[in-house]
Amino acid sequence: MLATMTNARWTRLAVAYFLLATASLVWPLFSTFGNHVEPRVFGMPWSLCYVLGVVTANAVVLLGLYFARVVDSREVSGADGAEEHGAAGGRR
């Protein structure tokens, strides 16, 4: 499934995910889901664990995008054309 999705689709999904993650950290979603002291998770209040969970999920998604090279593939395709025209990137 990873190979069949285009880079543009991965980018759109990543933007949608990060918008949802941002929305989950502000009102009204945070006050609904994360603004509680109980239950305690490993001795920490739920509100702290909620925020740490969102930040950890963001890091995992960014790591996945990095290993998928979604953003770099555009730069590489542009760099190939620059190499054909010399080191100055096509400007002489």
pLDDT at 92: 47
- What are the backbone angles phi and psi of residue 24, rounded to the nearest 5°? -75, -10
In three-state secondary structure terms, 39 is coil
**The whole model's pTM is what?**
0.68
Q: Is the pLDDT of residue 22 over 50?
A: yes
pLDDT at 65: 84
CB 37 within 8 A of CB 47: yes
Q: Is the pLDDT of residue 19 over 60?
A: yes
Percent of the chain exceeding pLDDT 90 equals: 39
Mean predicted confidence (pLDDT) in 69-89: 58
CB 34 within 8 A of CB 51: yes
Mean predicted confidence (pLDDT) in 80-85: 52
Which of the four pLDDT bands, split at 50, 70 and 90, describes residue 6?
Answer: confident
Residues 6+ apart with CB under 8 A from 3: none
What would the 3-class secondary structure string for 61-91 be? Answer: HHHHHHHHCCCHHHHHHHHHHHHHCCCCCCC
